[in-house]
Amino acid sequence: MLKTGRLFALAVLLCAPSQLLWAGEISVETIINKTNCVSYYQGDDGRAKCFMTITDSQGRIRRRKFIILRRDEAPKEGVEGEPDQYCGDQKFYVYFQRPADVNKMVFMVLKHVAGDDDRWLYLPALDLVKRIAATDKRTSFVGSDFFYEDVSGRGIAEDTHELLETTKNYYVLKNIPKNPATVEFSYFKMWIHRQTFIPVKIEYYDQRGEKYRVYEALKVDTIQGYPTVIKSRMKDLRTKGETVIEYSGVRYNMGLPDNIFSERYLRRPPKKYLK
């Protein structure tokens, strides 16, 4: 599995120039699929230490520190040399360290592309494991300007996609929700980098066509061959607050075992993978 990933990374690098050549004919489906892969599915698993800075309209700052572990429920029959096109179910394990009073808190998600996700919360101070049900995924992620859905990824089947234009560096996509009642936006625009397929900017528009929320990838690095966003920002134009996440210690293909994404490990974090 690890090998496949590396080979895939190599393939991406090798393919880059040729991609540019046939970019003109690329379909919207291909763009959105690749974007989805690059954003949430690089490698078979991954880890990042996240440093979150939430700044409100008055410049008051709150900080959070947590580690995200992610594992893809990848198909076993991955073909070597072929780009990994897997974008199915995933598991996330979010381990909080700061502020000190939420140290050891864990948030776990079993993401199902078809159907609702399973979410668990472990609150160490109450020694409580709780399943969380939510009617929608567009709620704040631990009080930040990022939504839960921004962290785990929005299913590409939930929107219709339209290529608005292709600029020198970007594909500009307009995404319209198929079920508008479950979301607060009427559409969102994505600026997708043509070479890396990283969404560099996302703008959300409300029912009146007013822009109210903006995501930006501020820093990108290539880690183990994967183009990786290592600093991003979400701005809420209504509350005038913003949240910046800086990612460090990013590693792909660590060989995370499946069993750590279980209720048992909520109380006993897998320290080995968190260092």
User: In the complex, which residues of this chain contact another protein (CB under 8 A)?
Assistant: 56-58, 60-62, 97-103, 105, 121, 123-126, 128, 130-136, 138-144, 148, 181, 208, 238-239, 241, 275
Q: How far is the CB of 159 from another protein (least distance, A)?
A: 19
- Judged by beta carbon, residue 166 or residue 262, the one nearer another protein is 262
**How far is residue 153 from each of residues 97, 240, 270, measured CA to CA in Å?**
23, 24, 24
H-run or E-run covering 18 = helix 2-21
Q: How far is the CB of 122 from another protein (least distance, A)?
A: 10
Burial 61-85 (b: 16+ CB within 10 A, else e): eeebbbbbbbbbbbeeebeeeeebe
User: Do residues 202 and 229 touch, judged by C-beta distance below 8 A?
Assistant: no
State how far the Cα of 112 lies from the Cα of 158, in Å rounded to an integer: 13
SS3 125: helix
- Judged by beta carbon, residue 72 or residue 203, the one nearer another protein is 203
Q: How far is the CB of 143 from another protein (least distance, A)?
A: 3
- Judged by beta carbon, residue 147 or residue 226, the one nearer another protein is 147
User: Do residues 248 and 48 touch, judged by C-beta distance below 8 A?
Assistant: yes
- Judged by beta carbon, residue 21 or residue 100, the one nearer another protein is 100
Q: How far is the CB of 210 from another protein (least distance, A)?
A: 10
Q: How far is the CB of 132 from another protein (least distance, A)?
A: 6
Rounded to an integer, what is the distance from CA 162 to the centroid of its chain? 21
State how far the Cα of 232 lies from the Cα of 68, in Å rounded to an integer: 15
- Judged by beta carbon, residue 62 or residue 161, the one nearer another protein is 62
- Judged by beta carbon, residue 38 or residue 54, the one nearer another protein is 54
Compute how many other C-beta atoms are within 10 angstroms of the C-beta atom of residue 215.
Answer: 21
